[in-house]
Amino acid sequence: MTAQESTNIENEAQEPPIRVKTLLSWSAPGRPFRKKSKQYYATSLLIMLLVEIILFLFSQYLLMVVVLSLVFLAFALASVPPRNFHYRISSEGITIEDHFFLWQELYDFYFRKIEGIEVVHIRTHSMIPGELTLPLGEVDREHIKQALLPFLPFREVVKPTFMEKSSDWLTRNFPLESTK
């Protein structure tokens, strides 16, 4: 090691480490949640029963088990409220509980209402997870926007995907519960 390399290493060791600054921190439920009515469960069971009969007639027993397990999952998610998560936006990235995402891994963000709850969607460069969904809870939308704008571009309008359009159409035309 030369003297110049030794001096460079010493200078790097003497520089104070860059501090991670927390810009915004809040707690909110892990996912948007709204308690479902009895009509939701009854309608879902009737649709499942109809699909199960059709699958039985075509001898698709394995597919019957898959449909039954998906309905069970939907009922579990609809009946059990989510626990509160701790979200933190810092100068290095975003922390959700103990998962950390660097700014370089994130692409852009936008806001949307799901189940009547304001949510910020942060898209990622990688396919998995693809998108982070952070419910705002008691935090104002503008506070989140001001914290994210120095690091990520904001999308005012996001074109819905084919799956989002399809699910919206199904929800509008074949609701599982009435919205009175």
Residue 46: what pLDDT? 96
Task: Return d(Cα 34, Cα 164) in angstroms, integer.
Answer: 19
How much is the pTM? 0.78
- Cα–Cα nearest to 30, from 142, 145, 136, 148: 136
Q: E strand or H helix at 79, and its extent?
A: helix 61-79
pLDDT digits (tens), the chain, 180 positions? 555 555 555 555 555 567 889 999 999 999 999 899 999 999 999 999 999 999 999 999 999 999 999 999 999 999 999 999 999 999 999 999 999 999 999 999 999 998 889 999 999 999 898 899 999 989 999 999 999 999 999 999 999 989 999 999 998 998 888 865
Residue positions counted in the chain: 180
DSSP 8-state secondary structure symbol assigned to residue 46 = H
